[in-house]
Amino acid sequence: MDIKKLDNMQDLVSLCKRRGFIFQSSEIYGGLGSCWDYGPLGVELKNNIKDSWWKAMTYREEVEGVDASILMHPQVWKASGHVDGFSDPLVDCKECKSRFRADKIDLDAPCPSCKAEDSFTEPRDFNLMFETTMGPVKDSGSTVYLRPETAQGIFTNFLNVQSTMRKKLPFGIAQIGKAFRNEITPGNFIFRTREFEQMEMQYFIKPGTQDEAMKKWKEIRWQWHLDQGLDEDKLRWHDHGSELAHYADAAFDIEYHFPIGWDEMEGIHSRTDFDLGRHAEHSGKNLNYVDQADGNKKYIPYVLETSVGCDRHLLAILCNAYRVENPETKEERVVMGFKPKMAPIKVAIMPLMKKPELETHARSILEDLQKNYKCEYDVAGSIGKRYRRQDEIGTPYCITVDYDTLEDNAVTVRDRDSMAQERVKISEIRQYILNKFGF
């Protein structure tokens, strides 16, 4: 069979809009730059991703979860280095006024927008944090920031979690939440946006054990992406090598091969005692860990961080799932080949015709299955068209109630990938689906 995989973002953007995955934010007002809304199918997919990450990371003895507030004490961002250093080098084109990140373009080349020569200003630092004010008086003392990463809510809760949960090193704290960055050049659909969600874990360890921790989490995180259904040949490691941030002693990214090329999806960074050390200094609080296993030695733990963008991973899942079978022929079919646990709709239930005797059966199957699974009920159009609609949103199984059902109390179950059809007794349908999914 001839299969075409995704080779441009536009095909995906239009499928996402057409089928209710992702819409432009504030679309009826013309949209808002690089902000996107997840529609009915998108939010299901996103929840599936978050649920899978949460279980993989926190359903283990050594990792606990938190959900910290987005607004934090402004001193947090001073201590973390974000107020002084969280910036990208910005250049303007003097001709067309377009703005670029100096590290993402060739400054000796013509402007990518208007092609003018020698038109760039000198690079200047542009802080990526969004500022707002807190309380009724708007003065400089009321400035707070929308967090540019979730990690700081973990560091500031290190003592709370360690003491309340009686944790011994090594242990981790995980969090999923929104982050905001006033990116200079956002774009490529949901790849780089100004509001996004991160799934981060900080793993607190004894200094000197960072290599071991890095090895362990590199393996776990790589495997997670595979378990999510991403093809291994579309994943690769990028070693930051000598280009490390000043506080890090090792850093690896997991990159995915998007239609725009290879780019970062997740970072796994060994951050030494930089973060807790800075917070101890700025807050005046003692953030030492007393190591009972090592003669009550006191030290600031080192940190191994895993940080993946939920939206960026979701984009990888969408890109990876998209395929067109037999393109430009009569048999053409667009399929989102999600793994069942990622599929927004798990089962579609379809009475062959809009007839009460068929619908009674179909509705009772729907009511039974939707206690566990997100289902869709579809009575409109020919069965062939309905199957194609479900293929395009990645529904693993379609159940059809037809006139034979009235005789044999059985239904036809159709598999998305093989298109094979099987007759299954209504009384066995729940178990059948459970066996197929394993959940």
Contacts with ligand ATP by CB under 6 A lie at 149, 181, 183, 192-193, 196, 198, 264-267, 307-309, 311-312
Closest residue by beta carbon to ligand ATP: 309
CA angle 62, 214, 149 (to 5 degrees): 75
Minimum distance of ligand ATP from residue 190's CB (angstroms): 7
Minimum distance of ligand ATP from residue 180's CB (angstroms): 9
**Which is nearer to ligand ATP, 169 or 235 (by Cβ)?**
235
d(CA 150, CA 69): 9
Contact (CB, 8 A) for 101 and 184: yes
Minimum distance of ligand ATP from residue 20's CB (angstroms): 21
Contact (CB, 8 A) for 195 and 230: no
Minimum distance of ligand ATP from residue 264's CB (angstroms): 5
Minimum distance of ligand ATP from residue 398's CB (angstroms): 34
Minimum distance of ligand ATP from residue 313's CB (angstroms): 7
Token pair in block for residue 279: 């917070």
**Which is nearer to ligand ATP, 267 or 340 (by Cβ)?**
267
d(CA 63, CA 59): 7
Minimum distance of ligand ATP from residue 150's CB (angstroms): 9
d(CA 81, CA 268): 19
